[in-house]
Structure 1
Amino acid sequence: MKRALSLLLTALILTACASGPEKQPDQDLSAATLYQNARAAWQRGDYDLAANRLETLEARYPFGTYAEQAQLDIIYVYHKNEEPASAVSAAERFIRLNPRHPRVDYAWYMKGVAQQEQGQGFLDDLLNIDRAARDPEPLRKAFDAFRTLIERYPDSDYVANARDRMRAIRDQLAEHEMQIASFYADRKAWVAAANRATHIIREYEGAPAVAPALSLLERVYGRLEMPSLRRDVRRVLERNGMSAADA
């Protein structure tokens, strides 16, 4: 959005200032020059200009080494310019067009990073939005992208960071499910609450939300008058050094 407004303003200024059909000063720039300009722009933090130069390079010189590199670099530029949807689209395009490229692992990694960014939102902290209340689908897609990276390119330099990000996403998804389970329990929808809590325990092993999910499940089984299942959950809690009150 920020870059779109900037480009619109630039277009209006150029229209107002134009006095005839003269060529723009960058119209005859070579692919090498456009790429060098883009690199210089993003190195000084001007991601709007960097994206513009890379887009221009791809449009004018769609074939060759510079175009291929531009397709890869623009993923990062979009990401730095807080345009995660554009970064995801650029990463998917690069993967589709260059499936055997030696740096396609980077495209998979950046696709996951951008989708993770979509899932948590840069306005969350500013507006004090509970991240567990957000739509978790972008996070699930990010998790899948990182998993694909790890499975297909186990020797990639990005694997370690991808694993860390997957753990963070797992915790966030589990937290989201726990919020829903608590919502059902607060409204005495005991069966729905039990199903959600069971899902957390089975699917998100190791996540911090597992402990409160066990505690909730123990309470729900009590409400449902299922003493055998309630005892089973208590034993799990005790085996892990917790009580229902502690979890």
Structure 2
Amino acid sequence: MKRLTITTFLAVAILSGCSSTEEVVPDVPPSELYATAQQALQSGSWITAIEQLEALDSRYPFGAYSEQVQLDLIYAYYKNDDLALGEATIDRFNRLNPAHEKADWVLYMRGLTNMAQDRSFMHDLFSIDRHDRDPEPSRKAFRDFKRLLERYPNSHYAADAKARMTYLKNRLADYELATADFYIRREAWVAAINRAQLIQRQYPDTRAARQSLELMVVAYEQLGLQEPLEHTKQLIALNPQ
């Protein structure tokens, strides 16, 4: 009975996150559609907002509200976890508006959208921490935020992007540490050393870089490599936790 309850809950939760519904948006003037969409955005009614905005976008693709509708859709898709649709809308907007005045915000939203794709519904639901899952979305988000800082250093979103890069850097370093630990458990000593050295080169100011030294000690001991073992122990002494 408990299993059925959890399964039912998951099905309802997944379905409630979808933006598509059977309701048909009335054929009303674009100004009215836009006003309804804005009210929905303000109240956090993301599905309603998306319905109105999608109707505007499809019925009046080159209308007066066209650019703002796409910007609003990017935000609404992100808030409703329609991340693939959000990414597609970002790509479309950039193709049509390569030099838009809100290009920094669009790039920031790309970073947020990619960052959100690193989440797992099941992991969030059961508070499971899986550093060993594929971090490709986080890599993309890191590149997006880095590009934002390079192109728009004075952007209103620069400070938050920088803070998120710190988080993402630790996320990526933790993934590499989990991989190095996997090699240790498989007794693949050389592979573990190579992965630990990668962490120290690419993410030197992370906790994972310090922890990777401990794995290198294990690997060097197993390989009987005394000189690098002593050097690594010295680094550990110089970098206490």
TM-score, scaled to structure 2: 0.88
1:17-41 alpha-carbon deviations (Å, 9 max, x no partner): xxxxxxx7x21x2222211110101
Q: Distance in 2 between matches of 1:70 and 1:3?
A: 23
SS of match in other structure, 1:120? coil
1:54-94 alpha-carbon deviations (Å, 9 max, x no partner): 11111111114411001111111011112122222222221
Q: 1:6 to 1:116 in 2, by over 3 A?
A: closer
Q: Counterpart amino acid of 1:152?
A: R
SS of match in other structure, 1:102? coil
How much has 1:2 moved relative to structure 2?
Answer: 3.5
Determine the structure 2 residue equivalent to 1:18. none
Determine the structure 2 residue equivalent to 1:196. 195
Determine the structure 2 residue equivalent to 1:137. 136
Could you tell me whether the CA contact under 8 Å between 1:115 and 1:142 is conserved in 2?
yes
Determine the structure 1 residue equivalent to 2:69. 70
- Mapped pair 1:121 → 2:134: no
Q: Distance in 2 between matches of 1:146 and 1:131?
A: 23
Determine the structure 2 residue equivalent to 1:48. 47
Could you tell me whether the CA contact under 8 Å between 2:19 and 2:82 is conserved in 1?
no
- Mapped pair 1:80 → 2:93: no
Determine the structure 2 residue equivalent to 1:19. none
Determine the structure 2 residue equivalent to 1:207. 206
Determine the structure 1 residue equivalent to 2:228. 229
Q: Distance in 2 between matches of 1:131 and 1:83?
A: 22
How much has 1:122 moved relative to structure 2?
Answer: 4.2
Determine the structure 1 residue equivalent to 2:157. 158
Q: 1:181 to 1:116 in 2, by over 3 A?
A: same
How much has 1:96 moved relative to structure 2?
Answer: 2.1
Determine the structure 1 residue equivalent to 2:147. 148
Deviates more, 1:79-88 or 1:155-164: 79-88
Could you tell me whether the CA contact under 8 Å between 2:19 and 2:51 is conserved in 1?
no
1:92-136 alpha-carbon deviations (Å, 9 max, x no partner): 221222111100111110111011010123442322332312211
Q: Distance in 1 between matches of 2:177 and 2:45?
A: 41
How much has 1:211 moved relative to structure 2?
Answer: 1.1
Identity %: 40
Q: Counterpart amino acid of 1:143?
A: F
TM-score, scaled to structure 1: 0.86
Could you tell me whether the CA contact under 8 Å between 1:116 and 1:142 is conserved in 2?
yes
SS of match in other structure, 2:118? helix
Q: 1:8 to 1:58 in 2, by over 3 A?
A: closer
Q: 1:4 to 1:238 in 2, by over 3 A?
A: closer
Q: Which runs of 5+ in 2 are unaligned?
A: 1-13
Could you tell me whether the CA contact under 8 Å between 1:174 and 1:207 is conserved in 2?
yes
Could you tell me whether the CA contact under 8 Å between 1:78 and 1:86 is conserved in 2?
yes
**Which of these two proteins has the greater Rg computed from alpha carbons?**
1
Could you tell me whether the CA contact under 8 Å between 1:92 and 1:111 is conserved in 2?
no
How much has 1:217 moved relative to structure 2?
Answer: 1.0
Q: Distance in 2 between matches of 1:32 and 1:139?
A: 38
Q: Distance in 2 between matches of 1:57 and 1:180?
A: 47
What value does the CA root-mean-square deviation take over the aligned residues? Answer: 1.8
